[in-house]
Amino acid sequence: MTFRDSPHAPEEAPARCCETGLCNGANALRTRKTKRSVLPYMNNHAAPDALAGEGEPGSGGGTDLTSGLSAAAKRSDFGRLPNLHPRCASRTSRRRLLWEIWDGYHCSICGTCLSFADLGRIAARAGIRFEPDETEYRIHGHFVQLSAKEGRVSKLTHKILDRKYRTAIERFRRAKSTEQVGELWKRALADGDVPGPYWALMTHPRATPTLVVQAFGEVHMLSHLAGATNRADIRRLRILEGERQELGEQLASARRRLFESQTAHRCIVDEHQAEKRELASRLQVAQEAESRLDQVEGRLRELEGGETVRTLRAHNATLESERDEAGRRLRTETQRRSTLEHDLSALQATLRDVSSTAEALSAECDALESMLETGIDDADGGRVVEGGRVVDLCGRRVAYVGGRSGIVSHFRTLVERLNGQFIHHDGGIEDHEGQLGRILGQADVVLCPVDCVSHRASHRAKRFCKQTAKPFVPLRTAGLSSFVTGLRQASELDRDPALKSI
């Protein structure tokens, strides 16, 4: 709800001038025989003659606000005239309420004692919203008119004024007479403390109409003086603001230059200090070196002039000779060591080969001795006992590729004794190479002596076994011991499938 739509808003929004209202109320009490002169701020507001009464003798050309009460009492708004009730000052101790004060004073009270922030708080509590284009003059006029009527706005205004100026109210409350109230007002006016004492005086029960009109006139003139002063102050303020802005810019520029200068100065100082520390460190090192050099030179002069130098030189020459001789011996021993290490490496390699061969020969000899002990002709159901184990080929066809033809018959007899079948191909010496594929296809296991067979036949047999997943057992030699070892491995194929990959 806007202020114009509010139920608190009066019919006429603009406030009547406080000066005009005061003149109408005061001039209504002038007597008929007095001159038509009014207070300085009451010009052009003469009261009707019907309301004029008799003046007191000696009144001169002034206005007597307390005369003619009988005629003024006939007015319909007599009760709202500026405290001109016949009793003048109240005989009770109750302070006046805002809406009990004459309407002509509300303009000065609202303008002097309330700020626009106070008016905004009152409007917010009363549920009043101003239009965006509402001027401060119209807002002031609205509150002046609403303060003259008993309602929510006037009560809130009175409450805020009492709370805001409670110190001044307490000070004026101690005044028990009109003279004391006037003295407090004069003192406050001299001190420049107007708003609080003005509100306390306007509501004080001992404030007479004369004192109220006097205080109102003084506040009114203060507003004119303040307006004239404000215009000059505004002009000076604008000039000062321009100068202040210019000075502010100059100050900011000076501060920036000062900061940059200080920064550069600090950098230079830091560099200077670093260089100073570095030079001091170098100077100290140089001084220490110079001191040590002096000591060494002194010692050297002492040594050069005595027997010690000659002795040391002779001893040095001896040591150099011994050093050269030791170097020659060291080179000789180093060469010898290299030769020995080479020979040792060769011997170690030979030893490893001999050891491997010896182990193989030992294994073959053990197998052969075992068979010789039992004898080839000693059969145990067609099987031969070798090393405590029975060697049984289980009917496998053993193909022997290569070897010496003089002992092939013994190999055949041995294989047959071990419950196997023997197939032989000499590797292409007498047998045709075309038969090698047929023989390899008939065999279950292939034995090939690597020292007595052609490379071509050996590679062909090995490749064929790899393609057909048949066991291929290379023999170290073409002798009987190697053949026996190969047969033992062939007989263990069922017990150890891993041997098939040999």
pLDDT reported for residue 92:
61
Banded pLDDT at 496 (limits 50, 70, 90): low
429 occurs within a structural domain: yes
Flag the least confident range among 8-17, 229-238, 278-287: 8-17
Last residue in a domain, options 164, 199, 234: 164
User: Is the Cα torsion angle 80, 83, 88, 93 positive or negative in sign?
Assistant: positive
What is the rounded average pLDDT for all residues in the chain? 76
Which alpha helices (H) appear in 305-406, and where do they start and end? Answer: 307-374
Residue-wise DSSP of 93-139 = SPPPPGGGS-GGGHHHHHHHH--HHHHHHHHHHHT-B--TT--HHHH
Please check whether residue 485 is in contact with residue 366, taking contact to mean a CB–CB distance below 8 angstroms. Answer: no
Altogether, the residues listed in the chain come to a count of: 502
What proportion of the chain, given as a percentage, has pLDDT over 70?
71
Please check whether residue 216 is in contact with residue 83, taking contact to mean a CB–CB distance below 8 angstroms. Answer: no
Banded pLDDT at 26 (limits 50, 70, 90): very low
Per-residue pLDDT reduced to its tens digit, 422-471: 998 888 777 777 788 888 888 999 999 988 888 888 888 899 999 999 99
**For residue 209, which of 81, 116, 120 has the smallest C-alpha distance?**
81
**For residue 445, which of 499, 390, 408 has the smallest C-alpha distance?**
499
pLDDT reported for residue 299:
79
Banded pLDDT at 116 (limits 50, 70, 90): confident
Q: Is 432 exposed, middle or buried (0-12, 13-18, 19+ CB in 10 A)?
A: exposed
57 occurs within a structural domain: yes
Question: Domain span at residue 409?
Answer: 384-501
Please check whether residue 171 is in contact with residue 200, taking contact to mean a CB–CB distance below 8 angstroms. Answer: yes
pLDDT reported for residue 167:
92
Q: Is the full-model pTM beyond 0.85?
A: no
Beta bridge mates, 386: 389
496 occurs within a structural domain: yes
| Nearest-angstrom CA–CA distance, 274 and 89 | 88
For residues 316, 322, 324, 330, the Cα torsion angle rounded to the nearest 10 degrees is: -140
| Nearest-angstrom CA–CA distance, 156 and 127 | 12
| Nearest-angstrom CA–CA distance, 444 and 465 | 10
446 occurs within a structural domain: yes
80 occurs within a structural domain: yes
Beta bridge mates, 399: 423, 446
pLDDT reported for residue 80:
47
Phi, then psi, of 185 in degrees rounded to 5: -65, -45
Which alpha helices (H) appear in 378-425, and where do they start and end? Answer: 408-417
| Nearest-angstrom CA–CA distance, 329 and 316 | 20
Q: Which two three-digit tokens encode residue 76? A: 């319909």
* CATH (domain of 480): 3.40.50.2300
Please check whether residue 83 is in contact with residue 212, taking contact to mean a CB–CB distance below 8 angstroms. Answer: yes
Which range, 137-141, 251-255, 297-301, 413-417, is most confident? 251-255
What's the maximum distance between 2 C-alpha atoms anywhere in the chain? 185
Per-residue pLDDT reduced to its tens digit, 211-251: 999 989 988 888 787 766 666 666 777 788 788 888 989 99
pLDDT reported for residue 72:
40
pLDDT reported for residue 278:
92
208 occurs within a structural domain: no
Per-residue pLDDT reduced to its tens digit, 322-375: 999 999 999 999 999 999 998 899 988 888 888 877 776 666 666 665 555 455
Last residue in a domain, options 111, 131, 164: 164
Q: Which two three-digit tokens encode residue 443? A: 């065999």
Banded pLDDT at 68 (limits 50, 70, 90): very low
Please check whether residue 35 is in contact with residue 45, taking contact to mean a CB–CB distance below 8 angstroms. Answer: no
| Nearest-angstrom CA–CA distance, 429 and 418 | 28
83 occurs within a structural domain: yes
Q: How many domains does the chain have?
A: 2
For residue 168, pLDDT beyond 60:
yes
191 occurs within a structural domain: no
